[in-house]
Structure 1
Amino acid sequence: MSSKQHLHGATHGGSAGLETTKTVLDAFCRPPEDGAAFRLAFISAKLSEKGKPISNYPTEDEQQRLHDVLGMDTSFWSKMQQDSSSYFGAEDHAKPHSETHSMLHSHTTNLRLLIKVAETPPNASLAVDKGVPYAWAEFGVFTRWQPGGRTAVLVQCGRGTETIGALRHLLEPLTRLDNVKDPYMVYALILQRLVFEFDKSVWSWRDRVRDFEKDRLSQKAMQSIVTRIVSNEVPHGDHKNSSAPSEEHEPGKPTSVVFNMVPPEPDYQRMHEVARHIIHCTEMLATAINVIDNIIQEHDAFVNEHADLLKDAKIEISNTRKAFRKHKSFLQGFHLRSKALEDRLSNEVDLAFAAVTQHDSKVAVKIAEATQSDSASTKTISFLGLIFLPSTFVCSLFSTSFFSLQPTVQVDGTQGTQGPPSTVKSDNVPTYWMMSDRFWIYWVWAIPLTIVTIFVWSVWQNYSVKRHPKARSEAPRRLKLGAMFSPFKKIREQKMEALHEIEVGQKV
């Protein structure tokens, strides 16, 4: 008589060779015809994001049948438990017709774990152009163990035939047993595969972090290459194809072309997307460690409470405990590695910010140097203007109609009466240098306009509404007028300081 029974549910894509969920559950709930001591079934079913069942999800009737026949709680299929990151629960069921209800009829357990892995389309949950592709690996396990070793295991798996095949291979030794002495032996084998899945998850995100590190190193190498090209291969004095300044190039000295050609371009958005997924990965590992702790506690409690049923399973119990401790040790190592990935990625983000800041600072230095050169040219022009300003003023002043040269000969040919001529022209005609008696008009207009201009400039420099928008309405009018119109610099500075204190007080 065969001691095993395998049932395989369909994947989401309805892969060939796998039966539908209805067929699998019908066979799983029926008593085995061959008296198999170990029954194993796989289904691939999940809820949509809105909590509605999609293809292959058990109907309410099927969920109720699993509860009635095997004692599987219908809450296992609820949205809360299906969306839970991880949990583990166990329950003892007494014989229904026992007088004291103290005899164990069956022991059931529920397990759920989530694993987040880096994926590529078409298996990913997110397209590459919209972010970092990823996928969730979902595992749900129900077990039912009865005294005598009869065991039923239902695995809800969302990772397709590869994981189902691996779990089936791991559980194969149990199918050759006449009875399963320790009900938690199943979890020792299932967790062996799930630990492998967690390892793949951590390494998949490690590859994403490593990509950022490689990109940084490649950018640094490119910058080094450009530096060597600029330093060693640019001919002396040849800057036709270079953005460097026009001064002579010193061999071995890099020019500003490096900063223009290879600016750092970190992908901050992608970095933060990967960081978000690694945080999820770390969370899943932490919850998985808690789940194993719960399994160990429930296993110890079951062994202590039902020692009479397990008196012949000492070796199996010992090996199961050792397996749990080993799996927990693996997960703790993966958890530390995931935390290290968070730190490495955080370091890359900080370094990217520093590299961009450093590059911008170098560019700013180059701009400052160019500005300094322009400033020197401006100073030269201003100095030349200052040199010619006095003579220009004199020319402008004496070219006005207030000054003129008049000939000493009248229109009728007679000699003028102004006195002796001040000069004699080339045509021997004597002339006089004359200043208008209304020359005072020039000073009457020039001096007040100069004073008004200086005053307006002083007011504009000392007070502006844009400088103190809040103090505009709150400060005393006398204080504002003093800051604007006081002729003494020290008083204006005191008033401005008072306005600044008022504004700071309003901000606080």
Structure 2
Amino acid sequence: MTKGNCLDCPLLGVAKRKTGKGENGWETSELSLDNFLTQNAKDTRLTVIRAQADEIRECPRCRQLFTEAFKVPEMWWSRWCRRSNGYFGCEDTTDEQGDFDGHNTWFRFIVKQTLDNVPKGQKDYIWYKFNIFTRWLLNTNQTIVVVFDPPPGVRERIPSPLLDASETSNFSDPYLIHSLFAEDVVRLQDDAVWGIRNLVREIEVHRTASAAPNPDYPRLHDIARHAIHVSETLDLAVKTVDCMMSRHDQFLSDRSASDDKIKTTQRQIRNRMYFYDHMLRSLRFRSASNKERLLNEIQLTFNTVAQYDSRISVQIGRAAQSDSSAMKTIAFLTLTFFPATFISAIFSMSFFNFNPDEDRWTVSKKFWVYWAVAIPLTCITAISWTFWQKISPLKPIGEEEVLKSRGVQLVGDLNEMATKLRDDSGDRYITEKV
């Protein structure tokens, strides 16, 4: 074992429950890992340790001490295990002679709950995490529970009141602790599922008005995101508890107890685990119902807005129809008076003159100047308009979005081609990113 002390490593929060009569209360203290390993008493039937997994991972000595003292599998320290949203694992441990001496388990639960009456713009949810490692010793029936990085909501309940039920329990079964944690997970998941239900019910009661709908789309999608997370963690909790029950049954079948009290304890733990599993499955159906109800409300909101927009479009169409009728009237009047107006404009020019004495019209010999200017100017105007339409065509609606999507697709194709070229050439190092 590595020698020396880790002066910078945080202390462990240790809570012990003794086996003697009248000593069922918790004895709490803060110890370094070295002091805990030297002071661990034989009469302690349950020890709960609060530790910081990230700090231990960063300290090679602390990590080695934990691995050797509690026989933590090396894979537990891996990044993929740390980033998992839930799991359960177990293994039997042996002493130096290869004989069975204990049973280790490690499991993780994550629960998401929504918060009520949160000011707008602030986080309206909270995560609960159980990252637990347990070690059960065969010779002494001692159980050591290591709680890694407990959030405030979990830290307040460990060890009391979450593990208070272990006061009169028989620790001959290593899965006694698991039944207590499973019960608390059921409690948290129940609050999470019913929290989503309350949000959905609030939406159903206060539906947007069909006359002038103004739905809060970001809020609807936030609730949908919470519902997805709750269903995800609930499904995983069902799977985790199911694995616990399976491994517990395997443990009991491999080591049948002869004492009736031990058998009674094991049977009680087994029955409770089955009950908690059934409760989680029931909550999963409720969670699925919440998602369906929320989806129904979102669809109703979209349909309500679409119907309102359709009614507005009809009104706009009727108004446009009325405007079109007025424009037709104006166009007809313009067409009626335009020829006469044009003729009067022509004859009112100075090129024409009426002589009352002779009672006749005279036309200036310079009248050709009008046509020499008017005809080229008209042609230039028509040609300029045609050329302008060609160099500045109107873009169809949505054309910019299509071009952007094509650009993204082109970049993706180039990246894929570059990857294939690197694979074909055998070069595993990325020298240039397309």
Corresponding residue for residue 204 of structure 1: 195
Q: Distance in 2 between matches of 1:336 and 1:394?
A: 85
Corresponding residue for residue 153 of structure 1: 144
Q: Distance in 1 between matches of 2:356 and 2:187?
A: 115
Corresponding residue for residue 246 of structure 1: none
* 8 Å Cα contact 1:132/1:270 also seen in 2: no
**Superposed, which structure 2 residues align to 1:295-444 within 5 Å?**
295-307=244-256, 313-408=262-357, 431-436=358-363, 438=365, 441=368
Corresponding residue for residue 291 of structure 1: 240
Q: Name the aligned partner's letter for residue 250 of structure 2.
A: A
Give the superposition deviation at 1:199.
Answer: 1.1
Give the superposition deviation at 1:341.
Answer: 3.0
1:22-69 deviation per Cα after TM superposition (whole angstroms, max 9, x unaligned): 369955873436x24x213252x546xxx557xxx9976555444444
Change (3 A) 1:450 1:79: closer
Corresponding residue for residue 484 of structure 1: none
Corresponding residue for residue 176 of structure 1: 168
Give the superposition deviation at 1:139.
Answer: 0.9
Change (3 A) 1:356 1:453: farther
Q: Distance in 2 between matches of 1:41 and 1:189?
A: 13
* 8 Å Cα contact 2:196/2:227 also seen in 1: yes
3-state SS in 2 of match to 1:464: helix
Q: TM-score, normalised by structure 1?
A: 0.61
Q: Distance in 1 between matches of 2:299 and 2:153?
A: 41
Give the superposition deviation at 1:175.
Answer: 2.8
3-state SS in 1 of match to 2:390: coil
Corresponding residue for residue 41 of structure 2: 32
What is the number of residues matched between the two proteins?
376
Corresponding residue for residue 88 of structure 2: 88
Q: Distance in 2 between matches of 1:136 and 1:363?
A: 44
* 8 Å Cα contact 1:111/1:142 also seen in 2: yes
Q: Distance in 1 between matches of 2:38 and 2:367?
A: 120
Give the superposition deviation at 1:390.
Answer: 3.1
1:9-31 deviation per Cα after TM superposition (whole angstroms, max 9, x unaligned): xxxxxxxxx643x3699558734
Q: Name the aligned partner's letter for residue 109 of structure 2.
A: L
Q: Name the aligned partner's letter for residue 71 of structure 2.
A: G
Structure 1: which 5+ residue stretches go unaligned? 9-17, 122-126, 224-257, 409-430, 470-508
Q: Distance in 1 between matches of 2:186 and 2:319?
A: 61
Q: Name the aligned partner's letter for residue 265 of structure 1.
A: N
Change (3 A) 1:389 1:133: same
Q: Name the aligned partner's letter for residue 288 of structure 2.
A: K
Match of 1:118 among 114, 118, 121: 114
3-state SS in 1 of match to 2:359: strand
Give the superposition deviation at 1:307.
Answer: 2.4
Q: Distance in 2 between matches of 1:162 and 1:86?
A: 16
Q: Distance in 2 between matches of 1:147 and 1:452?
A: 105
* 8 Å Cα contact 2:101/2:139 also seen in 1: no
Change (3 A) 1:446 1:369: farther
* 8 Å Cα contact 1:141/1:154 also seen in 2: yes
Q: Name the aligned partner's letter for residue 433 of structure 1.
A: R
1:262-319 deviation per Cα after TM superposition (whole angstroms, max 9, x unaligned): 4x33333333333333322222112212211221221122122222577864333333
Q: What fraction of aligned residue pairs are identical, expressed as a percent? A: 25
Match of 1:2 among 20, 30, 38: 20
1:281 equivalenced with 2:277 (yes/no): no
Q: TM-score, normalised by structure 2?
A: 0.70
Q: Distance in 1 between matches of 2:205 and 2:159?
A: 36
Give the superposition deviation at 1:76.
Answer: 4.8
Give the superposition deviation at 1:214.
Answer: 4.1
Q: Distance in 1 between matches of 2:327 and 2:153?
A: 77
The higher radius of gyration belongs to 1
**Superposed, which structure 2 residues align to 1:6-85 within 5 Å?**
7=26, 19-20=29-30, 22=31, 26=35, 30-32=39-41, 35-36=43-44, 38-43=45-50, 45-46=51-52, 64-73=64-73, 76=76, 80-85=80-85
* 8 Å Cα contact 2:351/2:367 also seen in 1: no
Q: Name the aligned partner's letter for residue 237 of structure 2.
A: A
* 8 Å Cα contact 2:48/2:159 also seen in 1: no
Give the superposition deviation at 1:362.
Answer: 2.9
